[in-house]
A and B are shown apart, each in its own frame.
Chain A
Amino acid sequence: NVMLTQPHSVSESPGKTVTISCTRSSGNIANSFVQWYQQRPGSSPTPVIFENNQRPSGVPDRFSGSIDRSSNSASLTISELRTEDEADYYCQSYDGSDRVFGGGTKLTVL
């Protein structure tokens, strides 16, 4: 079964840029789109990136996504960090028809 591995936590200062990685255990990262979700405490997840690098309506362009075939991984980059960006972030992709989530990364903005 495919696994998506994320760092447990990252931290950065307001105004800076942070990148969260998501490494696919098997299969080509480029063959299945990657999505990213933000989950603030006590709230449901909301998508911030779909299809590797597309932003849903209403998501600021400070959020961007990419994939790296050489490391078989995807990345979520958040620039101009704000305290409101502090949340858990999950990557998600699929293996055939099986949807798969990464373990999540806690972003601290301090």
Chain B
Amino acid sequence: QLQLQESGPGLVKPSETLSLTCTVSGGSVSSLSYFWGWIRQPPGKGLEWIGSVYSSGATYYSPSLKSRVTISVDTSKKEFSLKLSSVTAADTAVYYCARDNTNGWSTFYFDYWGQGTLVTVSS
């Protein structure tokens, strides 16, 4: 059974860079036709896609966050990472990592999710 686990600091200061890692077990980040994505959810609000990465390193980012986001993958460590720069209080959210399944290159949907990690931006 595929499992994903987020890790990283729970508190980040304004203007600094948020860094999270997602470790994948029970499967491979090198598997064909799967991306690996980050989604966030501010407290009491809805889901927002941040971006996704393929095993080759190819990335897609949300247009609204593109200027501040970097997502990378390390196939040898079976993990992928998120960096979000110049954070503000508006970036406070639960951050989820998830497998972004193309189902044979016909769609994009998130079929396995991590438990999520709360990141608070505060001084």
Contact = CB atoms under 8 A, between A and B. Distances in A.
B partners with A: yes
Interface of A: 1, 32-33, 35, 37, 39, 44-47, 50-51, 56, 90, 92, 94, 97-104
Contacts of B31: none
Nearest to B116: A44
Contacts of B96: 44-45
Nearest to A100: B49
Given A47-B111, A50-B111, A104 B63 contact: no
B47 A90 contact: yes
A93 to B, nearest CB: 8
A55 to B, nearest CB: 12
Interface of B: 37, 39, 46-49, 52, 60, 62-64, 96, 100-101, 103, 106-111, 113-116
Q: Which among A39, A44, A46, A98 has the highest number of chain B CB atoms within 10 Å?
A: A44
A35 B49 contact: no
Contacts of A46: 113
A94 B52 contact: no
Contacts of A104: 46-47
Contact of B100 (A44, A99, A102): A99
A99 B52 contact: yes
A36 B15 CA distance: 35
Contacts of B110: 35, 37, 45, 47, 92
A102 B47 CA distance: 8
19 contacts: A33-B106, A33-B107, A35-B109, A39-B47, A44-B115, A44-B116, A45-B110, A47-B110, A50-B107, A51-B103, A51-B107, A51-B109, A56-B111, A92-B110, A99-B62, A99-B100, A99-B108, A101-B47, A104-B46
